[in-house]
Structure formats: structure tokens, C-alpha cells
Amino acid sequence: MNREILNSEFQALERRVKLLLSEHKALKDEIQFLKDENNQLKVSVRSKDDHLNNFQNKIKISKLVGSMAVENEDTAELKQMINNYIKEIDKCIAHLSE
């Protein structure tokens, strides 16, 4: 009878170990999934920060251009030059981001 009790307890212990191993694997998989998701979100945040900075720079430049007192003829030319500079800066930022 003592042997039967030991065998029964051993089987119960074996079931618990298998259950713990299964839970351990599931938790490891979840951790890996969350790490991957975290990395993706970090990349997304960096990208959105870059876009926000670009927009803020464009707003600053627009305010600067708007506050300048220039002749009407020169205004169009100045705006075109600034737009060209903005495009070049955006290209440089995109190139550096790669």
C-alpha cells in the first residue's frame, strides 16, 4: 500500500511539473510577443516624432516667412526658395533616417 501511495503521489507531482512546464513555455512565448510588440511601437513612436518635428519646422518657417515684410513680387520668389529649402531638408532627413 505504501508503494501505491508513493506511485500516486509521483504521478500527481509529474502532472504538476508538466503543467508548470506548459505554463512556463506559454509565458516565455507571451514575453517574446510583448518584446516584439514593444520594439514595433518604439519604431512607430520614433517615426511619428520625426514627422512631428518636420511639421513643427515647417510651421516655424511659415511663421518666419509670414512675419517678413517684403514687396509682393519678392514674396512669391521668397516663398518658392523657402519651399525648395524645406524639400531639400526633408530629403536630407529622410536620407539620414535610412
Domain regions of the chain by residue span: 2-97
Does the pTM of the predicted model rise above 0.85? Answer: no
pLDDT for the residue 56: 83
Question: In this structure, what DSSP letter does residue 69 have?
Answer: -
Report the C-alpha gap between 6 and 12 in whole angstroms.
10
Cβ-contact 72, 33 below 8 angstroms? no
Report the C-alpha gap between 5 and 9 in whole angstroms.
6
What letters, b where the CB count within 10 A reaches 16 and e where it falls short, cover 1-12?
A: eeeeeeeeeeee
Cβ-contact 65, 79 below 8 angstroms? yes
User: Per-residue pLDDT tens for 37-71?
Assistant: 999 999 999 999 888 888 887 787 777 766 665 55
